[in-house]
Amino acid sequence: MAKRVGTEVSLAVADTVKLVNADVISAYPITPQTHIVEHLAELVANGELDANFIPVESEHSAMSACLGSSAVGARTFTATAGQGLELMHEVLYVASSMRLPIIMTVANRALSAPLSVWGDHSDVMAVRDTGWIQIFVENGQEAVDNLLCAFRIGEDPRVLLPVMVHLDGFYLTHVIEPIFMPEQSEVENFVPPNQYPLPLDPNNPVSMGCFAPPVIYAETKWAQEVNLRASKDVILECWNEFGDQFQRHYSPVESYHSEDARVLLLTMGSFSETASLAIDNMRNAGKNVGLLKLRLWRPFPFDEIRQAARNADVLIVLDRAMSPGGPGGPVCSEIKAALYQEEKRPKVVSFIGGLGGRDITIEGFEEIINKGIEISEKGSNQEYEIFGVRE
C-alpha cells in the first residue's frame, strides 16, 4: 500500500523513475531541474537503481544519447529546464518523428534574455510543435502520478511517442510536499515492461530516420500527426485505469466550480491551486465564476475545451509566456482557434502574467477575473492584458 511521505518534489520524481526501473538516464544539470538527475545519479551510484547514467556535456547531447538508448529498446528518461530544453530543440523533433518513447520531465523556466532561473512557461511554448505528448501538473502528487502514466502511455505499442511532463520550476521542483509514493509492486502492476517493437539489432537490421525526398515527406509527417492525435484515446484509457487502481483521477481539462459558471478562468500548472482559492473567495461573495485547468497540452483537447466552455459567457485565459508581436498568449490563441467555429462561444479575454517567476496572489487572480469581466463588457484597445507590470 502506498505510503505518504514528506519529500521534495524533485526527489519524488527521481524516486518514481527508480520505481519504473529505467534502464538509461542521460542528462545535464541545469537549474531548476538539477535535483532530479542529481538524485538519480546517487541512486545509480549506490546500487539502488540498476541503470546506466550517462553524464554528457550538454542538453543537446543528453537528448541525442536518449535517441540511441531508446532506439535499442531501453527504458529511457531525462530531465531539463528552460535554456536546456531549447538546446535540445532540434533533437526533440527526431525523437517524435522516429517514434521513440523517451520520457522527460521539464522544470519549466523562463528564457533569456535577461537571464532568469525562475519559472514560467516560455520554454514549453517554444517546443509545442515538436510532436511530443505534453502533460501539465499542478503539485507533487500529480507529478509522480503523471510520470508513471507517461511511461505507460509513451511505451504503449499503439503510441510509441516521447512524453514531456511539465512541472513549474521552484514552485514545484524545490517544494517539500506530502506525497503518496506507490509500492514497487503497484508500479509493476501498472507499468508493464518496455517492449519496443523495432529495436536496433545487428542481427535484425532496421533503418531509422532515413532521407525523405519531397515525394514522401508530407505523407510521413501526416502519419506522425495522425498517430499523435490517436494517442489521446490511450492517454484517456491510461488515466482511467490509473484512477481505478490508485483512486486519483485525471482528465485533459479539469473543472473547478465551472458547471454553472458564466465566467471561467483557464490556467495551467501550479498556479491553478492559487487560482482555485480565488474562485472560492469570489463564489462566496456571490460571483458566478469557475476555473478550467488545462492538463493535456498535446495532443490538444479540442472536444473537452469546447464542452467545458459551452455555457460560459466569458473565458479568461492566463498565459505564463508571451508571443511577441502576436495577438496574445500562445495558449489563448489556441483556445480561440478551438472555439472559433462554435455557434455559441464565450468572449475570450487574454491575460499574460507570472513571467520570470513573478508570483500571482489570490487577490491577483481576483483582479484578473474582475478586469476580464470588465473587458468583456466594455472592450479594450489592446489585444491582451499583461498583469502586474509596473509603468
Residues 180 and 266 in one domain: no
Res. 207: pLDDT tops 90? no
Q: pTM of the predicted model, to two decimals?
A: 0.97
Run of H or E residues at 256: strand 253-256
Residues 215 and 307 in one domain: no
Res. 373: pLDDT tops 90? yes
Residues 193 and 325 in one domain: no
CB 267 within 8 A of CB 291: yes
What's the mean pLDDT in 33-39?
98
Final residue of a structural domain among 246, 264, 291: 246
- DSSP-based three-state secondary structure for 270: coil
Residues 106 and 167 in one domain: yes
Res. 209: pLDDT tops 90? no
pLDDT of residue 64: 98
CA 251 to chain centre: 13
Rounded Cα distance between 13 and 144, Å, is 6
What's the mean pLDDT in 99-122?
98
Give the model confidence (pLDDT) of 53-73 as tens digits: 999 999 999 999 999 999 999
Residue with cell 509514493: 181
Total structural domains in the chain? 2
Res. 2: pLDDT tops 90? no
What's the mean pLDDT in 77-95?
98
CA 24 to chain centre: 22
pLDDT of residue 141: 98
Residues 286 and 180 in one domain: no
Residues 113 and 216 in one domain: yes
Average pLDDT, the chain: 97
pLDDT of residue 206: 84
CB 5 within 8 A of CB 133: no
The CATH number of the domain where 338 resides is what?
3.40.50.920
Strand order in the sheet with 289-294: 253-256, 289-294, 263-267, 314-319, 347-352, 385-386
pLDDT of residue 354: 98
- Residue 391 inside a domain? The answer is no
Residues 339 and 260 in one domain: yes
Give the model confidence (pLDDT) of 271-289 as tens digits: 999 999 999 999 999 999 9
Res. 1: pLDDT tops 80? no
Residues 333 and 242 in one domain: no
Residues 284 and 161 in one domain: no
Give the model confidence (pLDDT) of 306-358 as tens digits: 999 999 999 999 999 999 999 999 999 999 999 999 999 999 999 999 999 99
Residues 119 and 33 in one domain: yes
| Rounded (5°) CA angle 107-109-113 | 155
Q: Give the pLDDT band of residue 114 (cuts 50, 70, 90).
A: very high
pLDDT of residue 78: 98
What's the mean pLDDT in 144-155?
98
Grid coordinates representing 142?
Answer: 500529480
